[in-house]
Amino acid sequence: MNKQAPHISIPIYIIGAGGIVNTAHLPAYAMAGFRVKGIYDIDQQKARATAQAFAVPQVYKSLHELLNDLPAKAVIDIAVPGAAIENILEQLPAGGFQLLQKPMGEDLAAAKRILAVTREKKMTAAVNFQLRYAPFVAQARKMINDGLLGEVNDIEINVNVFTPWHLWDFLFSAQRVEILYHSIHYIDLIRSFLGNPLSVYAKTTQHPGAQELASVKSNIIMDYGSLQRANILTNHNHVFGTNQEQSYIKIEGTNGAIKIDFGALRNYPAGAGDTFQYTLMQGDKYTGWQTMPIEGTWFPHAFIGSMEQVLLAAAGLIDKPDNSVEDAIHTMACVEAAYVSSEKGGVRPDLL
């Protein structure tokens, strides 16, 4: 990346010093050469430890102190739970640039209020739906845009892993868990390829061994009509070891297919390697499956892309971020539709 590009010099100020900031945001920003100038967290000890680990020059004692020190042009990285975003936005100056940690509020109603605040205060805000910027997704998107796959007609995302939920204490009191905090990434990814669906069908469930959590498994169908299929299948309580764990994205088109085995979720948090495989039509036959090496992965590399979109907008190099709140509201609408579908249930066969 060209460190002389105008957007690289714009300073970043972070609100929140939790695990995701330490394991993804700050490592990604360091890779990209982004300038993080300050950090604030309600837990001062966490903020100081994070600042020391990543050489962040300034730790603020309060949000007010951070805002008083904010230069005319900067990006604020708001890395807090969804329920806290709206209150923070209301305290920020008008006309600023922000990257909001996903989700965009706890539900669609909250997302609409967040959108209203950003519009009223003329903010340029984006949501950290970073999977769409993962290096393996970028390669798949390039191949699709180059026409190599033909017309995309099938996207399938399948995750069967054991997730150590205790790493996120706040989820144990959350009314919504799996779709809102995990499958939301896949909903957003599918939207980034296929646009907004016609409708959403879903069922999200608990696990007998994790009943203190609202849900840990989901089946989601995004309806794009009769010629395209988009399915998400997740199980985060596969407690039978890593041998049969899997997490993949499969994209099929009329002229080829891609399968991405992404390892971030397997044997979490240690993770595993990624594999990018593809096959393409040559004449009237398909080639054998080939493997393409991809540099970088979801965590932390994808976090470069989501922040870079806001920096580019702040530098005036693009009109608005690709992951803007104006786009993210549609992902939140799909999430809400999934929960409504899950609550309403299916059609009883004995009533047909």
Sequence-distant (≥ 6) Cβ neighbours of residue 207 within 8 angstroms: 213, 216, 217, 236, 237
Same domain, 183 and 103: no
SS3 at position 70: coil
Same domain, 142 and 248: yes
**Residue 310 lies inside a defined structural domain of this protein:** no
Domain residues for the domain of 100 are: 6-128
Domain boundary among the residues 291, 308, 333 is at 291
Same domain, 36 and 173: no
The backbone torsions φ and ψ at residue 64, rounded to the nearest 5 degrees and listed phi first, read -60, -45
* CA atoms within 13 A of residue 273's CA, in its CB half-sphere: 5
Alpha helices in the chain (DSSP H): 19-20, 26-32, 44-54, 63-68, 85-91, 108-120, 135-145, 178, 184-194, 302-314, 325-344
**Residue 31 lies inside a defined structural domain of this protein:** yes
* Average pLDDT value for the chain: 96
Residue 139 CB burial class (10 angstroms; 0-12, 13-18, ≥19): middle
- The domain tally of the chain equals 2
Same domain, 244 and 272: yes
Q: Using an 8 Å Cβ cutoff, are 99 and 307 in contact?
A: yes
Spatial separation of the C-alpha atoms in residues 224 and 216, rounded to whole Å: 26
pLDDT by residue for the chain (352 residues), tens only, comes to 444 588 999 999 999 999 999 999 999 999 999 999 999 999 999 999 999 999 999 999 999 999 999 999 999 999 998 889 999 999 999 999 999 999 999 999 999 999 999 999 999 999 999 999 999 999 999 999 999 999 999 999 999 999 999 888 889 999 999 999 999 999 999 999 999 999 999 999 999 999 999 999 999 999 999 999 999 999 999 999 999 999 999 999 999 999 999 999 999 988 999 999 999 988 888 889 999 999 999 999 999 999 999 999 999 999 999 999 999 999 999 999 999 999 999 888 986 6
What residue ranges in the chain does DSSP mark as E strands? 11-15, 35-40, 58-60, 75-78, 97-100, 124-127, 152-160, 199-205, 217-223, 229-235, 246-253, 256-261, 275-282, 285-286, 290-291
Same domain, 40 and 146: no
- 64-110 pLDDT, tens digit per residue, is 999 999 999 999 999 998 889 999 999 999 999 999 999 999 999 99
What per-residue confidence (pLDDT) applies to 126?
98
Same domain, 76 and 10: yes
**Residue 264 lies inside a defined structural domain of this protein:** yes
Same domain, 80 and 162: no
**Residue 298 lies inside a defined structural domain of this protein:** no
Same domain, 123 and 137: no
Same domain, 120 and 150: no
**Residue 317 lies inside a defined structural domain of this protein:** no
For residue 11, whether the previous peptide bond is cis, meaning omega lies within 30 degrees of 0, is no
Amino acid at residue number 78: I
**Residue 255 lies inside a defined structural domain of this protein:** yes
**Residue 347 lies inside a defined structural domain of this protein:** no
Domain boundary among the residues 267, 291, 315 is at 291
Q: Using an 8 Å Cβ cutoff, are 59 and 86 in contact?
A: no
Spatial separation of the C-alpha atoms in residues 96 and 89, rounded to whole Å: 10
Q: Taking the model in full, what pTM does it have?
A: 0.95
Here the CATH number for the domain that contains residue 204 is 3.30.360.10
Same domain, 175 and 193: yes
